[in-house]
Structure 1
């Protein structure tokens, strides 16, 4: 009797066991409305797996990262990536901070003390803003330019040499 029950539920058991799997991300197709990926699960390579993303956030993860895939009804033709990570690039030692990061070393860290942007040697660009307002001091170790005028290398004419101060700037 037990053997008959085991034999009867074996297909269901295999299907349930195959509903969730861990795998390795191999390729990303970012052309459509839903990103599709190629995932390797054990010896099997699966193409066209949906990778939905939360509204307002998107990314193009590098190959080699780990994924968790759910297969609807245990069917390997209906996979959906529900999570992914990359141990090689995840920032560590953040304490209770939150970070957004990529595989190039660029990181935005939200801490109790403030926000830190680590550019990893790359430029930070703000575009399409008619005005940028800062409520506080700005400090820079490099030069600051307004148009073509450098604060470090700007020369002002009509100033008498000596030890006197020029006074406050005028609007």
Structure 2
């Protein structure tokens, strides 16, 4: 009995069960349905249609295939240095772990939320900054819609764009 590896193209997935399954194109005119997609512990994704990966036919039986990988060539973050890691989605959101270059979180034009019972931002030997959009107001302590806010005092007087919640 042999095991064979072959290239697959993702066409559909089912992420509702305990194990994600995918439908994929295999060899010419071959469609594989309901094959198991393996994923590492602590990380899960649902690849966009058109992603490519490796099919593994256990004992050479195509109906016992599993999908390995599945990465969309147009969505993949490129040019990482050895040892660097990126987690990303199909909308351009990413968290990149760049070794000595630090950590970069990017939500592009999408909302970015960080939640927790307590949040601590600490600069250990530099400065910390909070930036709103170009000339847009930045609110500290709330969403800027509920509660009462006051302009933050600066060396030059009250800020025109930074406000802190006071109630």
- Which range, TM-score by smaller chain? 0.7 to 0.9
Task: Within 5 Å, give how 1:79-158 maps onto structure 2.
Answer: 79-96=65-82, 97-111=84-98, 112-127=100-115, 129-136=116-123, 137-142=127-132, 143-147=138-142, 154-155=150-151
Deviations 1:95-143 (A, max 9, x none): 343211111111211112210111111112123x211122225312211
Q: Distance in 2 between matches of 1:20 and 1:118?
A: 35
SS in 1 for 2:59: helix
* Alignment partner of 1:36 is 2:36: no
SS in 2 for 1:154: strand
- TM-score for both structures, normalised by structure 2: 0.75
C-alpha distance 148-93 of structure 1, shift in aligned 2 (>3 A): closer
Structure number with higher strand proportion: 2
Q: Distance in 2 between matches of 1:164 and 1:29?
A: 58
SS in 1 for 2:150: coil
Q: Which residue of 2 aligns with 1:6?
A: none
Q: Distance in 1 between matches of 2:156 and 2:76?
A: 54
C-alpha distance 165-103 of structure 1, shift in aligned 2 (>3 A): closer
Q: Structure 1, unaligned stretches of length 5 or more?
A: 1-11, 157-162, 167-171
Q: Which residue of 2 aligns with 1:21?
A: 6
Deviation of 1:76 (Å)? 0.7
Deviates more, 1:85-94 or 1:71-80: 85-94
C-alpha distance 114-155 of structure 1, shift in aligned 2 (>3 A): closer
Give the number of the structure whose alpha-carbon radius of gyration is greater. Answer: 1
Structure number with higher helix proportion: 1
How big is the alpha-carbon RMSD for the aligned residues of Structure 1 and Structure 2? 2.7
Q: Distance in 2 between matches of 1:126 and 1:45?
A: 41
Deviation of 1:90 (Å)? 1.1
